[in-house]
A = this chain, B = another copy of it.
Amino acid sequence: MAFLKVVPLEKALEVIDSFPLKPEIETVLLSEALGRVLAEDVTSPINVPPFDRATVDGYAVRAEDTFMASESEPVKLKVVGEINAGDTPAVELKPGESVYISTGAPLPKNANAVIQFEDVEGEGDEVVIYKPAYPGLGVMKAGADIPKGKILLKRGTRLTFKETALLSAVGFSEVKVFRKPRVAVISTGNEVVLPGEELKPGQIYDINGRAITDAVRELGGEALFLGIARDDRESLKELIEKGIECCDIVILSGGASGGIRDLTSSIIEELGEVKVHGIAIQPGKPTIIGLINGKPVFGLPGYPTSCLTNFTLLVAPLLRKLIGREGEVRKVKKRLAHKVFSVKGRRQFLPVRVEGGKAVPILKGSGAVTSFIDADGFTEVPENTEILEAEEEVEVTFFG
């Protein structure tokens, strides 16, 4: 195993960026597309509405036939047919003719206005019109809502119900979206057991497995929790190999011991290559980044807040790139709620909660589960800063 020295965060991000993973595209049914991310710009293949459409119930007319109509001298038109929504209009209006039409129905040829029932009097085969109709009255023109060829949605759009409805409106039953990256999640440590199991003396419940699995899912990835590897080479190697086999990315979170880190990096060296072993940030020193068969393997710190911070800094941007959500803003500027002391010479990421418009530092220590529960994200304390004053502006990066 090559010994690699601790690198700056920027270097680690460069390494990750150079990995041979590319966003992939798949076609899904529109009925299954909610929450997915568009992999291409979508252009409308049709006019909406596809035809000149009545927007009221009434009589379709040639507007010019009504121009002379008045209360005292109404115009009478012959009613030559009826068109309902869904009908194919077979009628063609000649001068002096009209058609009984319902909302949503296509206008007959030569008609250019619909006068609603309330404004006319129908008498058998005749309709009596008391005021002029202008061309376009009671009509939505073909393409008035969405013209054919209009770009409707941009690549990278996350599909909410509004976008799926829009795609439905222009007739798409399938849509091209970014394939969800598959992420294998492995917890490690002799002391860690799965929730639901009995806790023996010296044991604690796994936290990172659940946190990372569900954080990946929230990001829009597919996550597969493979279980807990013990601090022995065979157990760990087996799960890493399984992860490489089934997934695009493997994420391990360390147990408390340093031994597991050595094991992890030795196994990665055996199966592939360790690219980063330690990042010059706090927390993050124990972080390992490797590549096996072209697939990234991340070994994240064991403390939940540290694990999640490193996940957010290193893995989440990669997932966002693969899923077409690169542009997403996950940062906000806030003023610090109170003074914070840091250690000079250490680039620190401090958990904070956004509350009352301020960034409130959570100072429980990375060992506390509750610090990541109470926090919304973290803020950076630069290497040469010892004190961040209250009211100082900081940038908060949200977890995930």
Contact surface of A with B, Cβ cutoff 8 Å: 30-31, 34, 46, 48-51, 53, 55, 57, 83-89, 102-106, 140, 144-146, 160-174, 189-192, 194-197, 199-211, 213-215, 217-218, 225, 231, 255-258, 302, 304, 364-365, 367-370, 372-373, 399-400
Contact = CB atoms under 8 A, between A and B. Distances in A.
A173 B199 CA distance: 13
A84 to B, nearest CB: 7
Contact of A174 (B86, B196, B217, B256): B196
Contacts of A168: 195, 205-207, 209-211
This protein's copies in its complex: 2
A190 B86 contact: yes
Contacts of A106: 201-202
A48 B369 contact: yes
27 contacts: A30-B210, A55-B365, A83-B202, A85-B189, A86-B202, A102-B257, A103-B257, A104-B255, A104-B257, A104-B302, A105-B202, A145-B364, A146-B370, A161-B214, A161-B218, A164-B210, A165-B208, A165-B211, A165-B214, A166-B369, A168-B205, A169-B207, A169-B369, A170-B195, A172-B195, A173-B195, A173-B196
Contact of A89 (B201, B205, B213, B231): B201
A117 to B, nearest CB: 11
B255 A215 contact: no
Contacts of A171: 195-197, 199, 205
A165 B200 CA distance: 20
Nearest to A161: B214
Contacts of A364: 145
B104 A256 contact: yes
A30 B195 CA distance: 9
For A169, A170, A196, A258, which residue has the most chain B Cβ atoms within 10 angstroms? Answer: A169
A256 B201 CA distance: 69
A200 B369 contact: no
Given A162-B211, A169-B207, A55 B367 contact: yes
A49 B255 CA distance: 14
Nearest to A57: B258
B205 A170 contact: yes
A362 to B, nearest CB: 12
B34 A373 contact: no
A305 to B, nearest CB: 11
A218 to B, nearest CB: 6
B102 A199 contact: no
Contacts of A104: 189, 191, 204, 255-257, 302
A75 B27 CA distance: 70
For A49, A208, A231, A400, which residue has the most chain B Cβ atoms within 10 angstroms? Answer: A49
Contact of A203 (B50, B199, B368, B373): B50
Contact of A202 (B51, B197, B257): B51
A62 B380 CA distance: 37
Nearest to A90: B201
Contacts of A164: 210-211, 214
A400 B169 contact: no
A372 B206 CA distance: 45
Contacts of A105: 191, 202, 256
Nearest to A163: B373
A190 B144 CA distance: 22
A373 B173 contact: no
A35 to B, nearest CB: 8
Contacts of A191: 85-87, 104-105
Q: Which 9 A-B pairs have the closest CB atoms?
A: A104-B256, A173-B196, A86-B190, A161-B214, A86-B191, A165-B211, A168-B210, A85-B191, A103-B256
